[in-house]
Amino acid sequence: MSEYKCIPLGNNVEEMFIGPFGSSLKNECFVDEEEAYCMVYEQKHAIQKTMEVETRYINEQKYNELKRFNIHGGDIIVSCRGTIGETFIVPDNAPLGIMHPSIMKIRLKEGVYDKYYFNLLLKSRLKKHKTEANGSGIKMAISATELGKELFPVPTMEKQLEITNIISRISSVIEKRIQELSALDDLIKARFVELFGDPIINSMNWPVALIGDNCFVTKLAGFEYTQYINYEDTGDVVMVKAQNVKNGKLNRKELSFISNEVSDSLPRSQLEPGDVVMTYVGANIGDVALIDDKCKYHLAPNVAKIRPDSEIYDSTYFMYMLMLLNTYIAKNSADTAKAALGMERIRKLNVFTPPIEKQNQFANFVHQVDKSKVVGMTIKLIFKVRLNTYYEGYWSVI
C-alpha cells in the first residue's frame, strides 16, 4: 500500500470534536417534540446504526447556545465514552440536530474521501482504541486530538469505491444469511403455535401438569460449587453458565471447563443429551437451552437442569414450550426485585402435555429446519472468513 499518501486525519476534516460538556445538556434541557427546534444525536444512534431510536429534542434557544455542535446529513458520529468506537453515517436527508456529550462528530472535507470508504477505514482504526479501553480499564474515551494526529491513507477515489464495493457485497451476503436464519427461527415458533396453540393460555386445552410431576429437576448447590469447583480455561467437561443459555441455544463462546474427576464427584449436576437447562436468577431468568450433543457438560450455579420423562415429553418440544413461556416464567419469579426463581417454583410451573406423537411431529420439523440452518450458517461462515481475510490483508497494511 506504499503508493497511498498518508496524511494526518485532522488535515482532511472540516470539523472533528466531541460533544459539549455534560453540564451544557442536562435532562431538564430536553423538551417535547411539539416544542422542539431540533433533535439530539446520541450514542445509541452510533451503536444501533439507525435513526429509528427513541429521540430527544431541544428548543431553539438551547440550539443557539450549542449550535457549534450541530449535526447534519453526511456527518459521521462516533460513540466515544463507555461503549466506544461504534460509528454511524448520518443519512443525507436526516434532520438538523446537535451532539450529545458522548459522541464525536467527523465532517470530512469535500473530495478527499468517499464517506463509506472512510467509515470502514475509521472502524478499523478505532479497534485499537477499543483494545486500549478494554485492556487498561482506565481509558474510557476517544480523544479527537489524538485521532486527528494519526496518519490515514488517502487512496484514489476510484480505489476507495472499488474497496467499498467489495466489502459491501460480501457484507450483503452475510446479512441475508442472518435474516434467513432469523426467519427459520420464526418459522419454528409459528409451527409450534400452529400445532399446540398459545402455550401461556393453553388455547387448545391440552392436559396440564406440573413440571415436577413428570421431570427430574435439580441444580448445583452453592456450597458444593464454592468448595469443590474451580473453572479452567481448558478441560474435559464444559461448565454451562447462565451466560451460555440464551433463546433456546447453548452459546459456546467464553466457555469454562472442569476435569472429569471434579465432574464425577458431583453426579447430580452432570448433564446428558435431552436435558433442558434453565437460568433461575439474573437478567436472563427463565432462558432455556437443550443439551443435544454428546459433549460432556456440567451445571454451573444459576442454572437448573430439567430432565423430562421421555415417555411423556420429547425434549425438543419441551424446550421450545419453555422458551415460549419465558415471559410468563420471568413474571412468576419468587422475587422480581432480585429476579430469582427457586427450584420449587420451577417444579410447580404449569406446562401442557399433548400426545407424544404430536410432540415428535414437531421435533421432526425442527430437525429438518435445523438442517437448513446448518447450510445457511456454513455460507455465512464462509463469507465471514472472506471478509476477515480481506480486512486482514488490506486494513492491517494501511
Tell me the mean pLDDT per 10 residues along the chain, length 398. 78 94 87 94 93 94 94 94 89 94 94 92 78 46 87 90 84 78 86 90 90 70 47 86 86 86 86 89 82 86 87 92 78 54 77 93 90 72 63 54
| Tally of CA atoms within 13 A in the half-sphere of 338 that contains its CB | 8
Bridge-based pairing of strands 245-246 and 249-250 is antiparallel
Cα dist from 97 to 17, 52, 80, 104, whole Å: 15, 15, 18, 13
Sheet holding 297-299, edge to edge: 256-258, 237-240, 297-299, 270-271
Give pLDDT, residue 373.
Answer: 74
Cα dist from 107 to 79, 112, 121, 281, 292, whole Å: 15, 12, 15, 46, 51
Backbone angles phi, psi at 363, to 5 degrees: -60, -40
Residue type, 319: M
CB 192, CB 362: distance < 8 Å: yes
Give pLDDT, residue 233.
Answer: 82
Residue type, 359: Q
Q: What is the pLDDT of residues 37-80, one digit of tens each?
A: 999 999 999 999 999 999 999 999 999 999 999 999 999 999 98
Choices 3.40.1360.10, 3.30.230.70, 3.30.70.1290, 3.90.220.20: CATH for 207-353: 3.90.220.20
- CA-closest candidate to residue 244, choices 190, 300, 292, 188: 300
Q: What is the distance between the alpha carbons of residues 118 and 260, in angstroms, rounded to a whole number?
A: 51
- CA-closest candidate to residue 142, choices 195, 193, 76, 204: 76
Q: What is the pLDDT of residues 288-310, one digit of tens each?
A: 999 988 789 998 888 888 888 88
DSSP string covering 215-261: EEEEE--HHHHHHH---BSS-SEEEE-GGGEETBEE--SS-EEE-HH
- Does the domain made of 5-153 have the CATH classification 1.10.150.120? no
Helix residue ranges, H only, the chain = 43-48, 60-66, 115-136, 144-149, 157-196, 211-214, 222-228, 260-264, 315-324, 326-331, 343-347, 356-394
- Grouping H, G, I as helix, E, B as strand and the rest as coil, residue 201 is coil
Which DSSP helix (H) or strand (E) runs through 278?
strand 276-279
Buried b / exposed e along 210-234 (16+ C-beta atoms within 10 A): ebeebbebebbeeeebeeebeeeee
Sheet holding 87-89, edge to edge: 13-18, 103-108, 76-79, 87-89
Which DSSP helix (H) or strand (E) runs through 293?
none
Cα dist from 261 to 228, 235, 290, 302, whole Å: 11, 11, 24, 22
Nearest-5° Cα angle at 85, 170 to 42: 105
Q: What is the value of pTM for the model shown?
A: 0.60
